[in-house]
Structure 1
Amino acid sequence: MIRVDGRTLRCADVVTAAATEGPLAIDVSIAAMRAAEHAWKLADELSTRREVYGRTTGVGANKDDLITGGESREHGLRLLRSHAGGSGDPMSPDQVRGMMLIRLNQLVAGRAGISPELISALAGAVRGGALPLVHRLGAIGTGDLAPLAELALALTGERPWLEGGVPPVSVRAGDALAFMSSNAATLAEATLAAMRLDTLTRASHAVGALTYIALDGNPEAYATPVHEARPHAGQVACAAELRRLLGMHHTPKPGRRIQDPFGLRAFPQVQGPALDAIHYLRDVLAIEINASTENPMISTVHQDAYHHAHFHTAYVSTALDQARATIHQVAELSVARLGDLLEPEFTGLRPFLASGPVGSSGVMILEYVAHDALTELRQAALPATLGTAVVSRGIEDHASFSTQAARAATAASYAYQQVLACELVAAVRALRLRRAELVDIPARDAYDLASAALDESMDDRPLTEDVHRAVGVLDELARI
């Protein structure tokens, strides 16, 4: 049961909603619905005695065009129809479901001034698993106007549902802009990508631990005194996790080398920033999915409307840019460790972990696959925040591009999991070839799990299925 009260929605709830095909168990706070109704009544009353953007005026560069009371409802419908101009491919079902839950949660925070009927219709759609047709293109990080307009028109019966549906509701005066004043679609994709990256970074500890064992790594790089000397939170956490996975409860034996390659030796220093960046990104998203972003904001406490710029999502875009940049560095280390696993000087095994006749290629192709994926990740890691846009006749003269940053985060998570899978396939093969008997440590559980999923054959053969299976076990490795 997901609690929807405008205050306590979690990123994990968004992931659950996105993955749920069909009805979703939600508990919409009755008190929150009452607060939303009070804000709706106040917004109507305020519109009779002062200018309220989007209710008594046009929007964007039309902000000075006054709308009379009798035209308000038709004005709202025109706003939705004109803004429902999304294009490109349909938005993915999981993102649409996440968007709908986030928007519902924001609306029941009680500062939008939206009619209770429209909120209830959205709640019914979320609860029933209804899926509207929403297009992917139409936002630049200053409000997901096109996707949310398409959703609103589906609730009114003017646009199609791909799955399910709800009885059509009327748009009341002031509903249109208030419904669109959110970045819920962007936040949905950002949240799904952030949670995926969080899972992959946790899985990478287990993958890195298996590579460490296969390469007879030097434990001094993870020693507690080392990381107490420069105690960045993520770095300290990474080193501690490697010590746990490798059973380093006491001073361990020295490794084969006085100093390992950077892929092993600098793992905490490179992984640490990624852990910190993802932690910060999740904190930002936890605020955003429970935030009241409607412009204007209707305050029942102060009995007034406030015009503002909460639609601007610089926090989200910059946090996403930072997360992708740090993930790229972590992925570079994974590819470096993969190269070490194919080098006899580090493993004592044949080149490319081959086991067949002379000239066998073993897992040579994994380097090519990993570097291909890493190149895609590098492109996805480029900052989305270095450009801007001037729209609506110059009135809106800056954009965060958080929407594009979120899309890039989705691409980065896909590429990163391919990189990790390549390293995992090679690490398991190296341990098999060494006939390593792992002692009773958490890393052995990781090995048993991955080994059970991967083909035991050492012959030269296509490794496509091995990489696919390795991707499939990363979620479980993250929980070890």
Structure 2
Amino acid sequence: MSSRIVDTANAVTPPASVGLVVLDGHSTGVEDVVRLADGAARPVPGTDAMKRVEESWDAARQIAATGRVYGRSTGVGANRNEDVPTEAAAGHGLRLLRSHAGAIGEELPARQVRAMLAVRANQLLAGGAGLRPTVVTALCEALEAGVYPVVNEFGSVGTGDIAALAQVGLALVGEHPWRGPEGGHSLADLALEGGRSPQDLAPEPQALDNNDALALISSNALTLGQAALALHELRGLIGATQVVAALSLLAVDGSHEAYAAPVHAARPHKGSAEVARRMRELIGAADRPTPPLGRIQDPYGFRCVPQIHGPAHDAADALEGVLTVEINAAAENPLISPEDMAAYHHGGFYQAQLALALDHFRLAVTQVARLSTSRLSTLNEPAYTRLRPFLADHEPASSGVMILEYAAAAALGDLRAFSAPASLGHAVLSRGVEEQASFASLAARQTLRACGAYRLVVGCELVAAVRALRQRDLRPGPELPAGRALELAESVLEPDQADRPLTDDVTAAAALLDRFTDIWRGSAS
């Protein structure tokens, strides 16, 4: 690490709560990327992985000195057949970074850029890029110091985040600005308290040349980082939604039969069976519950929770599998192979698997949110709650939580828009040489944007479920996860049930879902 960050009297000392993530180019996962993006851990390059980087760097220079290698001794895109004269090679890399650092739109938040830096550092440690080792060190320094380059939103179509990564490259050479922490990263906070600016905390400028530029930007690290953040949040929210669904089920005296073990043994989809098992755990239902004394079966919002939540969990698992491969992939074009002393030109940067997995995941998530609005409608119906319409108080013609159905439907509308398959997009670029695009980058952005709308939909259901349970004076025991969830919700949500604005209630309920995620995870045993 640079002496500017660690070896001075003003050194950044990690708090005791900050752990380590060893980046090895082989086993880094989604949770590791999230921890680094949040500043909850500091990165350490693995020793063997750094050896791979050094071997790849040495091999790349030898290969480029004796043959034509795309982006090193040639131009890129439609300029691939234009040779770079030896005397111009040193400046070629810098010109490539300057010309490609044209991302547009809003600046991305710190968390997303930090996720990108973490992914790119780990990919480089897989050893196929042929990039100088000090770049890996510099990316890790930036993560540790809490600084990040300015990166703009648009510039990728799912065949490499070249514009965003070119901005990173220019920041590494000292031609592009760095920002300080957004929302507070513990390591950077300590450093900035000493009066140092983000530029002071930035890594030492790198001397990037023709052997470095394309090797740095030939990656989908931003898309992968954004996808990792979105998966982490939405997977947790899907679990929290099941806790909310459990409270709603209790509020309407719903049947437990839909979650019976024999039902899911007879149709053994992994996700559905696990959702049913967890629901039994949340509400204390038997594996083989007795039939209800009243209605024979519930509306789909209660009866089909396993069949709709289950596929969402399966889609999350599938997406994580794709992300794990890509976060640890040497997907740079060309791939530098020290064993063969060869540079292999290929299309491994094309993100069809990721785009399709993200599209599938968003569609599954939207189904889960739509089911939440179904339960909300049922909670407003006296035939199921044995309470007043819309869970209103006893004033004549009170509207109660009526407006929540409209608000939830509006937020669900955004979710439906975000779930449109990005992989249907098409682009022909660079004079027709690059005639296909996965639009995985759009899929990742849409998945991130879905998080806020999803929270609000389920927040509306939670407000209604808690009000119904309060009015019925139903309190599941604290030994049950659902009982602990209700106790937590009642400590946060306003008990006044008179007609009043419910904006703050839904905001508080949406924020509470992260703590419900912990309750849901506790039912995984």
Listed one character per residue, the Cα deviations across residues 430-472 of structure 1 (whole Å, up to 9, x for unaligned) are 0000011323422111111111111111111111111111111
Structure 1 Cα separation of the partners of residues 476 and 268 of structure 2: 31
- Is 1:227 the counterpart of 2:264? The answer is yes
- Is 1:347 the counterpart of 2:385? The answer is yes
Specify the SS of the correspondent of 1:479. helix
Extract structure 1 runs of 4+ deviating beyond 4 A: none
Structure 2 Cα separation of the partners of residues 167 and 441 of structure 1: 54
Specify the SS of the correspondent of 2:65. coil
**Alignment match, 2:22:** 3
User: RMSD over aligned Cα, in angstroms?
Assistant: 1.2
Structure 2 Cα separation of the partners of residues 118 and 340 of structure 1: 57
Identity of aligned residues (%): 47
Listed one character per residue, the Cα deviations across residues 278-297 of structure 1 (whole Å, up to 9, x for unaligned) are 11011111111111111001
CA deviation after TM superposition for structure 1 residue 250, in Å:
4.8
- After superposition, the Cα gap between the structure-2 partners of 1:72 and 1:422, relative to the gap in structure 1 and judged at 3 Å, is same
Specify the SS of the correspondent of 1:211. helix
**Alignment match, 1:74:** 91
Specify the SS of the correspondent of 1:283. helix
Structure 2 Cα separation of the partners of residues 6 and 279 of structure 1: 21
CA deviation after TM superposition for structure 1 residue 127, in Å:
1.9
1:378 to 416, 423, 436: 416
Residue identity matched to 2:333: N
- Is 1:49 the counterpart of 2:66? The answer is yes
CA deviation after TM superposition for structure 1 residue 172, in Å:
2.8
Count of equivalent residues? 478
Listed one character per residue, the Cα deviations across residues 50-94 of structure 1 (whole Å, up to 9, x for unaligned) are 211101110000110011222112111111000000111001111
1:34 to 41, 51, 61: 51
Listed one character per residue, the Cα deviations across residues 25-45 of structure 1 (whole Å, up to 9, x for unaligned) are 221112211211111111110
Specify the SS of the correspondent of 1:298. strand
In the superposition, the TM-score normalised over structure 2's length comes to 0.89
Runs of 5+ unmatched residues, structure 1 = none
1:463 to 490, 502, 507: 502
Counting only pairs closer than 5 Å after superposition, residues 410-429 of structure 1 correspond to structure 2 as 410-429=448-467
Specify the SS of the correspondent of 2:207. coil
- Is 1:185 the counterpart of 2:202? The answer is no
2:244 to 207, 212, 220: 207
1:17 to 30, 33, 36: 36
- Is 1:272 the counterpart of 2:310? The answer is yes
CA deviation after TM superposition for structure 1 residue 253, in Å:
4.0
Structure 1 Cα separation of the partners of residues 440 and 233 of structure 2: 17
Specify the SS of the correspondent of 2:343. strand
Structure 2 contact 280–287 (Cα < 8 Å) conserved: no
**Alignment match, 2:119:** 102
Specify the SS of the correspondent of 1:25. strand
1:327 to 353, 360, 365: 365
**Alignment match, 1:115:** 132
CA deviation after TM superposition for structure 1 residue 183, in Å:
0.4
Specify the SS of the correspondent of 1:178. helix
Structure 1 Cα separation of the partners of residues 51 and 211 of structure 2: 18
Counting only pairs closer than 5 Å after superposition, residues 249-264 of structure 1 correspond to structure 2 as 249-255=286-292, 256-264=294-302
Residue identity matched to 1:345: A
- Is 1:361 the counterpart of 2:361? The answer is no
**Alignment match, 2:15:** none
Specify the SS of the correspondent of 1:88. strand
Structure 2 contact 170–176 (Cα < 8 Å) conserved: yes
Greater mean deviation of Cα atoms: 76-85 or 114-123: 114-123
Greater mean deviation of Cα atoms: 432-441 or 90-99: 432-441
CA deviation after TM superposition for structure 1 residue 317, in Å:
0.4
Residue identity matched to 1:157: G
Structure 1 contact 356–458 (Cα < 8 Å) conserved: no
Specify the SS of the correspondent of 2:424. coil
Residue identity matched to 1:208: A
Structure 1 contact 218–254 (Cα < 8 Å) conserved: yes
- After superposition, the Cα gap between the structure-2 partners of 1:348 and 1:74, relative to the gap in structure 1 and judged at 3 Å, is same
Specify the SS of the correspondent of 2:213. helix
In the superposition, the TM-score normalised over structure 1's length comes to 0.98
Listed one character per residue, the Cα deviations across residues 316-370 of structure 1 (whole Å, up to 9, x for unaligned) are 1000000011111111110000000000011000000011411111111111110
Structure 1 Cα separation of the partners of residues 219 and 373 of structure 2: 39
CA deviation after TM superposition for structure 1 residue 310, in Å:
1.4
CA deviation after TM superposition for structure 1 residue 123, in Å:
2.2
Specify the SS of the correspondent of 2:234. helix
Specify the SS of the correspondent of 1:385. helix
Specify the SS of the correspondent of 2:396. coil
**Alignment match, 1:292:** 330
Structure 2 Cα separation of the partners of residues 237 and 251 of structure 1: 15
Structure 2 Cα separation of the partners of residues 358 and 100 of structure 1: 59
CA deviation after TM superposition for structure 1 residue 271, in Å:
1.2
Structure 1 Cα separation of the partners of residues 349 and 112 of structure 2: 19
**Alignment match, 1:476:** 515
Runs of 5+ unmatched residues, structure 2 = 1-19, 181-197, 520-525
Structure 1 contact 343–352 (Cα < 8 Å) conserved: yes
Structure 1 Cα separation of the partners of residues 86 and 125 of structure 2: 26
Listed one character per residue, the Cα deviations across residues 5-49 of structure 1 (whole Å, up to 9, x for unaligned) are 11121211111122228xx52211122112111111111101122
Listed one character per residue, the Cα deviations across residues 217-237 of structure 1 (whole Å, up to 9, x for unaligned) are 111111111111111111111
Structure 2 Cα separation of the partners of residues 421 and 341 of structure 1: 14
Greater mean deviation of Cα atoms: 301-310 or 210-219: 301-310
